Amino acid sequence: MTLLKNREAVLAFAILLLVALVATRFPAFVRPANLVNVFNDTSPLILLAIGQMIVILTKCIDLSVAANLALCGMIAALMNGAGVPLPLILALAITLGAALGAINGLLVWKLGIPSIVVTLGTMTIFRGTIFLLTNGAWVNSHQMTDGFKALPRAVFAGLPVMSWVALAAIALFTVLLTRTPLGRSFYAVGGNPHAAVYTGINVGRTQCTAFIISGALAGLTGYLWVARYAVAYVDIADGFELSVVAACVIGGVAIAGGAGSVAGAVLGALFLGVINNALPVVGISPFWQMAISGSAIVLAVAFNAAQNRQPGRIILKSVEAR
Amino acid sequence: MKPVLSLRGISKSFPGVKALQGVQLDLFAGQVTALIGENGAGKSTIVKVLTGIYQPEEGTIEIDGTPIRFASAQEASRVGVTAIHQETVLFDELTVAENIWLGHAPRTRWGLIDRRAMRAGAQRLLSSIGATLNPDLRLGDLGIASKHLVAIARALSTDARVVILDEPTAALSHKEIHELYDLIETLKSQGKAILFISHKFDEVFRIADRYTVFRDGQFVGDGAMADVTEGQLVQLMVGRSVDQIYPARSHNIGPPVLTVAGYSHPTEFADIGFTLHQGEILGFYGLVGAGRSEVMQALFGITTPSKGAVRIDDQVRVIRSTHQAIAAGIVYVPEDRGTQGAIRGLPIFQNITLPSLATTSRAGFLRLAEEFRLARAYTQRLDLRASSLDQELGLLSGGNQQKVVIAKWLATKPRVIILDEPTKGIDIGSKAAVHEFMAELAAEGLAVIMVSSEIPEVLGMSDRVIVMREGRIIDEVSGPRMTPETLVRAAAGIAEAA
């Protein structure tokens, strides 16, 4: 556990260093208002990374999160057009996201199909469904009600609602993972599925639950995304699932399952968020941004691999006694 | 007659265990030599020495009287020693011909694989052992018996002179076994020296010309099959000086706890019935693959039986999941503790409390202090050596990991604890500690089932012993009938001596 904490401390330090470096060339970047902006911009990534982290903990992966987000966002926009009240839209977006996640989870659990295959398939199906619903048409700003668009931007105590949602999710899932039996079983299932079975844990059901959580977060983010950018179409958040997985990997979530934390996933997302927001300000071309994000992923994985290298067998008595 | 292959004074040890101590073995051209011994006698180790996987510390290997050293498996196969293992090591996605020639395929003059020669060669090898398989079939589409034929053809493709068959009939049907016997006759007539490893006496008497017996890693005797009786072989196998001390047991047997009746599974076992009492240690003995672990896994809810009833304290309990088994008070410490018991990435205390979270948490929230208390109570009892209970389990030594796995189960306060091969692969010192501990558990009124393939352990620890063979209970042994001979005869299916 100390190892994990170290890993997160290293990442937090890297983010601070990055922010400091940017500040030397562009002091306005560290103004509180701008930092709030960066956090707010990164909130969708944080929300999805938390869900993805839980899925990866259980030795699975959810590639359909971005498509799930786009489908739920589109349906939220369509419901808004049909006059459905906002609280109901929110509840239905989360429920629909969870249901889509449950499809992934049930296919993994009941049919034993590898999650990468299942979610690769559902990713395309979800995007295709948006097309079927709209015939490829966009839902634009003028077709949305003001209340629908205002919620994520509304500011409470200096932070937009979007950021508050991310903070609430961080708190909720930190407690879920560290303080509930369900959270413990995510770690057990990913750490050693065979042993988990022998301990009385239903591995498939636990994995399915992880997909439902990831889906529900994607559904919620779908509404927030569409409302904030005031547009919904087939390709919103296209390719975003890769950023989400990248945030997890940078945040020290073991891709083989069983190790990771909410804090790690959030820091991973923030790292990418800072890079994406800072580099244009400093005047670095978008091509370099991609190269830098990519290098960060490889570095993070190399760092984790070095940390996780198996210690040799403990044969010497003196070492064991220590 | 001179042996083709001759081993003298071979020793091999692993940390804490002497697997082989100065053993000898001779194999002759055109003859089948049966290697006989209990589990743990050193049969698998000698096979690995013969095929170059292990290098012995002492002793000589001679081929046609010339001393030779196998530094690697490739070298052993080059001089013509080849083994066909219990689970044949072949590739399902490749064709029959590709499997036969993998690694030494015939080449064209351009250095590419000569597919035509490969096919023709495969056909020739297969027909030389009387097999009519299409060399272009995908191996995964074949049955286990056909896979054996492919494995044997592969062995012959390297011009093997010595063929080792390691329990080749374990997974075969009756008809397939007879085809294998015919095949062995063919190999004999081609002058191959064959080492045949089997637990089954009827097989050994049917096809072997000679026998060699190992016991506890030592050579006990050899000779011609014609000069020996079943009784004498059993005697050689088990006749030992009981040098290990087992803890004194209280034998304070209480009322029945677990009653199993008519317990059956479609493919694994049938008509299992027994009663387990409070404070009792019930041994389950049998050959590997007799169905003992399968029965235990069903009792623990890992697999689902087709019929039969399980009663705990005279109440019928339906067990369809491990969760229900734990709730009913049955826990199972699996044989393969590394993969089935421990979660190495989690801290010690979390490993221990994993099945007990319902009792340590309140209103759906974990209480870490409570978890530490529970973990501390049981690790102290088991004398666990760890700097902190917060330490990752994977950092502990194997023996200590085992203690954590056992502590985990005791913490659920079970009625019945099933220990599957509890001392397999651990050193003598830890073995004694485990035995001591089992005796303590029973004395405290826990009902214990011990699955073990080690006769001294079964006899030394159990109040009664159930012997299984081919998925059924063959015998229940107690009192004066608890002798090594009785167990071996029952397990191998030999009639009791008059």
pLDDT tens digit sequence for B33-58: 999 887 778 888 898 898 888 889 88
Residue type, B117: A
Q: B256-492: which CATH architecture?
A: 3-Layer(aba) Sandwich (3.40)
Residue A200 Cα distances to A189, B324, B340, B404, angstroms = 11, 8, 12, 17
Average pLDDT over residues B290-313: 91
For residue A259, the chain B residues in CB contact (below 8 A) are: 345
Distance of alpha carbon B293 from alpha carbon B289, whole angstroms:
8
B359 part of contact set with chain A, CB < 8 Å: no
Q: Is the pLDDT of residue B174 over 80?
A: no
Q: Is the pLDDT of residue B340 over 60?
A: yes
CA atoms within 13 A on the CB side of A19: 20
Q: Is the pLDDT of residue B240 over 60?
A: no
Locate tokens 């012995």: which residue? B56
Two tokens, residue A250: 């940078």
Give the max Cα distance, chain A.
Answer: 74
The answer as to CATH 3.30.230.10 being correct for domain B5-238 is no
Locate tokens 């040890």: which residue? B13
Average pLDDT over residues B433-441: 85
Q: Is the pLDDT of residue B313 over 50?
A: yes
Q: Residue A115, Cβ neighbours under 10 Å: how many?
A: 23
The pLDDT value given to residue A310: 53
Q: Inspect the interface and report whether the beta carbons of A202 and B323 lie closer than 8 Å.
A: yes
The pLDDT value given to residue B437: 84
Average pLDDT over residues B413-419: 92
Computed over every residue of chain B, the mean pLDDT equals 85
Locate tokens 């501990």: which residue? B437
Distance of alpha carbon A176 from alpha carbon A209, whole angstroms:
12
Domain boundaries, chain B: 5-238, 256-492
Average pLDDT over residues B10-22: 82
Q: How confident is the model at residue B77 (pLDDT cuts 50, 70, 90)?
A: confident
Two tokens, residue B273: 């019935």
DSSP result, A24-37: HH-GGGGSHHHHHH
Two tokens, residue A57: 């903990």
Distance of alpha carbon B331 from alpha carbon A249, whole angstroms:
37
Strands (E), B379-463: 416-420, 447-451
> CB neighbours of A160 closer than 8 A, spacing ≥ 6?
A36, A40, A152, A153, A154
Question: What percent of chain B clears pLDDT 70, i.e. is strictly above it?
Answer: 93
Q: How confident is the model at residue B429 (pLDDT cuts 50, 70, 90)?
A: low
Average pLDDT over residues A7-34: 88
For residue A195, the chain B residues in CB contact (below 8 A) are: 339-343
Distance of alpha carbon A61 from alpha carbon A52, whole angstroms:
7
Q: How confident is the model at residue A129 (pLDDT cuts 50, 70, 90)?
A: very high
Two tokens, residue B102: 């993998």
- Give the H or E element holding residue A181: helix A181-191
Q: How confident is the model at residue B495 (pLDDT cuts 50, 70, 90)?
A: low
Average pLDDT over residues B219-243: 79
The pLDDT value given to residue A163: 96
Task: Pick B353 or B38 by higher pLDDT.
Answer: B353
Residue from B366, B408, B427 whose CB has the most chain A CBs within 10 Å, to mutate: B366
Average pLDDT over residues B156-183: 80
Q: Is the pLDDT of residue B334 over 90?
A: no
Q: Is the pLDDT of residue B402 over 90?
A: no
Distance of alpha carbon B208 from alpha carbon B36, whole angstroms:
11
B362: buried, middle or exposed (CB in 10 Å: 19+, 13-18, 0-12)? exposed
Mind spelling out the 3-state secondary structure of B269-312? CCCEEEEEECCCEEEEEECCCCCHHHHHHHHCCCCCCCEEEEEE
The pLDDT value given to residue B87: 59
> CB neighbours of B249 closer than 8 A, spacing ≥ 6?
B281, B439, B442, B443, B461, B463
The pLDDT value given to residue B242: 45
Q: How confident is the model at residue B300 (pLDDT cuts 50, 70, 90)?
A: very high
The pLDDT value given to residue B171: 65
Q: Inspect the interface and report whether the beta carbons of B343 and A188 lie closer than 8 Å.
A: yes
Q: Is the pLDDT of residue B160 over 70?
A: yes
Report if pTM > 0.90.
no
Q: Is the pLDDT of residue B296 over 80?
A: yes
> Are the folds of B5-238 and B256-492 the same?
yes
Query: pLDDT tens for residues A133-174?
Result: 999 899 999 999 999 999 999 999 989 999 999 999 999 999
B322 part of contact set with chain A, CB < 8 Å: yes
| Gap from A124 CA to chain B (nearest CA, Å) | 30
Kindly identify which residue of chain B lies nearest to residue A182, measuring between CA atoms: B364
Q: Is B116 helix (H, G, I), strand (E, B) or coil?
A: helix
Average pLDDT over residues A92-115: 96
Q: What angle do CA A231, A78, A243 make, to 5 degrees?
A: 45
DSSP state of B20: E
Distance of alpha carbon A48 from alpha carbon A245, whole angstroms:
9
Residue type, A201: I
Task: Pick B198 or A237 by higher pLDDT.
Answer: A237
Pairing between strand B58-63 and B272-277? unpaired
A271: buried, middle or exposed (CB in 10 Å: 19+, 13-18, 0-12)? buried
The pLDDT value given to residue A320: 42
| Gap from A58 CA to chain B (nearest CA, Å) | 13
Mean pLDDT lowest for which of A6-20, A304-318, B176-190, B328-342? A304-318
Average pLDDT over residues A44-61: 97
Q: Which of A181, A200, A315 sits opposite B323 (nearest CB)?
A: A200
Average pLDDT over residues B58-71: 88
Q: What angle do CA A293, A272, A244 make, to 5 degrees?
A: 95
Cβ B163 vs Cβ B28: under 8 Å: no
The pLDDT value given to residue B52: 86
> CB neighbours of B386 closer than 8 A, spacing ≥ 6?
B348, B379, B396, B400
Q: Inspect the interface and report whether the beta carbons of B339 and A192 lie closer than 8 Å.
A: yes
Q: How confident is the model at residue B488 (pLDDT cuts 50, 70, 90)?
A: confident
Sign of the torsion formed by the C-alpha atoms of B365, B369, B372 and B373 = negative
Average pLDDT over residues B357-362: 86
Cβ B357 vs Cβ A184: under 8 Å: yes
Computed over every residue of chain A, the mean pLDDT equals 90
Distance of alpha carbon B48 from alpha carbon B76, whole angstroms:
10
> CB neighbours of A97 closer than 8 A, spacing ≥ 6?
A68, A69, A72, A215, A216, A217, A218, A219, A220, A222
The pLDDT value given to residue A315: 46
Distance of alpha carbon B52 from alpha carbon B176, whole angstroms:
30
Average pLDDT over residues A199-223: 96
Which conformational region is residue A117 in: left (phi greater than 0), alpha (psi within -120 to 50 degrees), or beta? alpha
Average pLDDT over residues A219-248: 94
Q: How confident is the model at residue B149 (pLDDT cuts 50, 70, 90)?
A: confident
Cβ B97 vs Cβ B134: under 8 Å: no
